[in-house]
Amino acid sequence: MLDLLQNLGRRGLGVFERLGRASLLLVQILAGLHTLLPRPRLVIQQVFSVGVLSLVIIVVSGTFVGMVLGLQGYNTLVDFGAEESLGVVVALSLVRELGPVVTALLFAGRAGSALTAEIGLMKATEQLSALEMMAVDPVRRVLAPRFVAGFLSMPLLAAIFSAVGVLGGYFVGVGLLGVDEGAYWSQMQDKVDLYDDVYNGVIKSLAFGWVATWIAVFEGHDAVPTSEGVSRATTRTVVYTSLAVLGLDFVLTALMFGD
């Protein structure tokens, strides 16, 4: 019985310890941001590997999510004779929820895991220690550019996802199912609000980008420097990011659209 309690206590302490280390790392990264200003190349390089290389998966899944929304929305709405509102359904669900959330989940799988594995391997092969030996701060040289790149790429990826999804819904709704083209766009423009919907979606994706890259960078930096440790850290990145994004999404939705 006491063993059980001790076990529980040790795990709880472990969680708090990791949270504390993660916060400290975030503070270090933020404090090191100013050193990136004279060297934007570092960030550009990372935007390439985090953002550009995620483009294909984002565009493809955005198109298909939009097409599925178009099909499902049409089948439901046509029962009420309201298929003209298809544009509203597709655009609102994409801009408010699916765009930021699905992009963040894909981002965790595509970019977050890669970040963790890369940093973890750097640690395992003692590249980070080597940098430190050369009096280069690995947090500023390696972690900070990756963090900034992830944070900046997420909203762009989410916007591309939503835009492509709206077009996918358009192809299915207007092209295949015969919804009136004018109604699709005009109803959408009538009901989707720039501030309430689009801006809040962008804020959501910024928050997700922050959390997703933070977790990825921390897990890599905190990985046990063995091949098994790196593989575990990569798994943890994907799991924790997905959970954090979904939980955070509920909180943000309640704050933004609650009233």
Partner 1 sequence: MMSTRTTEIWVGVFVAAGLAALFMLAMKVSNLSALDEEDGFTIEARFEDASGLKVRSPVTMAGVRIGRVVAIEFDKQSLQAVVRMRIDRRYDTLPADSSASIYTAGLLGEKYVGLEPGAGADECEEAALEAELEGREPEPCEGGARVLRDGARIKITQGSLVLEKLIARFVSQFLESGGKKEAAQ
Please name the residue ranges forming H helices in the chain: 2-31, 40-50, 55-77, 86-92, 99-107, 113-124, 127-133, 138, 144-170, 181-191, 200-222, 227-257
Residue 99 Cβ vs partner 1, minimum distance, rounded to whole Å: 9
Conformational region of residue 180, where left means phi above 0, alpha means psi within -120 to 50, and beta covers everything else: beta
Residue 20 Cβ vs partner 1, minimum distance, rounded to whole Å: 34
- Cα dihedral: 43, 49, 53, 59 (round 10): -40
> Could you list the residues that contact partner 1 (CB under 8 A)?
41, 44-45, 47-48, 51-52, 55, 91, 95, 153, 155-157, 159-160, 162-164, 166, 185, 188-190, 192-194, 197-198, 201-202
For residues 128 and 114, give the distance between their C-alpha atoms in angstroms, rounded to a whole number: 17
Residue 133 Cβ vs partner 1, minimum distance, rounded to whole Å: 24
Residue nearer to partner 1 on the CB measure, 112 or 218: 112
Residue nearer to partner 1 on the CB measure, 27 or 56: 56
Residue 87 Cβ vs partner 1, minimum distance, rounded to whole Å: 8
Residue nearer to partner 1 on the CB measure, 105 or 192: 192
For residues 116 and 76, give the distance between their C-alpha atoms in angstroms, rounded to a whole number: 42
Cα dihedral across residues 122, 245, 154, 140: positive or negative: negative
Residue 2 Cβ vs partner 1, minimum distance, rounded to whole Å: 56
Residue nearer to partner 1 on the CB measure, 4 or 194: 194
Residue nearer to partner 1 on the CB measure, 91 or 245: 91
Alpha-carbon distance values, 50 to 40, 135, 251 (Å): 15, 27, 26
